[in-house]
Amino acid sequence: MDQWEMMFKLILSGVLGALIGFERRSRFKQAGLRTHFVVAVGSALIMLVSKYGFQDFLEIPSVSIDPSRIAAQVVSGVGFLGAGTIIVEHQFVRGLTTAAGLWATAGIGIAIGAGMYIPGIGATIFIVIGLEIFNRVQKNSAHCLGKVVLSLDGIDPVLDILKNSKVRISNIQVNRHYNKNNKDSEAKIMFRMYSVNQSQRKDIMVNILRIPYVKNVNIE
């Protein structure tokens, strides 16, 4: 294959990966435009090397080549990169979509490197449109995460405020642990709230902070 055609494949792969990365970046995700661009170009390059990089060995009768072996390692290798974008915080998992996007971007790079232009471009358009559609759908069920650190006597008043906040609340969890500094026990209330706007979030935080037993409250 002409090496200029290979360069075209790398450029096209980078552009397609950047489209997915731009969508992720617009959502303030950890892996954005640059990461997806590099993953796409790198995957296309590995596919080109796997497919065309060992043609000089084909003249040796005793040597057999499987061009899919190197490219196959991209699928598992990108998994480690995607794992770095997944964050587990207070039993809530974030970054799964971005990790899946990196994995899909690697697949697009492999497809372009293999010369499958229509499937690669089609997958990119389908992923970008799908992400945009599902992001809009998710806004209707948007949620925020909250955490309240307080002494044990303040658990009931905080739970009453959350119950009377007139928003849909799920995943309320109370963890009790020993505080070495104050030599007493304290609790952490972690919760997930749905259909909460900025004004409601502020009112809930203010009402919780008025409770004297509350030490810290955070809703994001």
Burial group, residue 121, by CB count within 10 angstroms (0-12, 13-18, 19+): middle
84, 103 in Cβ contact below 8 A? no
Helix (H) or strand (E) holding 4: helix 3-26
Mean pLDDT for the chain overall: 79
Which pair of tokens denotes residue 179? 């505080």
Which pair of tokens denotes residue 123? 């997958």
Does the predicted TM-score (pTM) go above 0.85? no
Choose among 132, 86, 77, 152: nearest CA to 109. 77
Can you tell me the mean pLDDT for 177-205? 75
pLDDT of residue 189: 84
Q: Which domains are present in the chain?
A: 3-139 (no CATH), 143-219 (3.30.70.260)
Query: Which of 10-14, 20-24, 100-104, 140-144 is least confident?
Result: 140-144
What lies within 8 Å, CB to CB, of 203 at 6+ separation is 165
Query: Which of 25-29, 151-155, 168-172 is least confident?
Result: 168-172
Query: Which of 5-19, 88-102, 116-130 is least confident?
Result: 88-102
What lies within 8 Å, CB to CB, of 94 at 6+ separation is 86, 87, 88
Measure the CA–CA gap between 143 and 93, rounded to whole angstroms.
13
Measure the CA–CA gap between 156 and 162, rounded to whole angstroms.
10
Can you tell me the mean pLDDT for 127-154? 77
Give CA torsion, residues 200, 131, 128, 113, to 10 deg. 130
Burial group, residue 88, by CB count within 10 angstroms (0-12, 13-18, 19+): exposed
Measure the CA–CA gap between 154 and 70, rounded to whole angstroms.
59
Q: pLDDT tens digit string along 14-51? A: 899 888 888 877 776 766 778 888 888 988 988 888 88
66, 51 in Cβ contact below 8 A? no
Q: Tell whether the model's pLDDT for residue 102 goes beyond 60.
A: yes
Residues of 54-72 as b/e, b for ≥16 C-beta within 10 angstroms?
A: eeeeeeeeeeeeeeeeebe
Which pair of tokens denotes residue 161? 């405020």
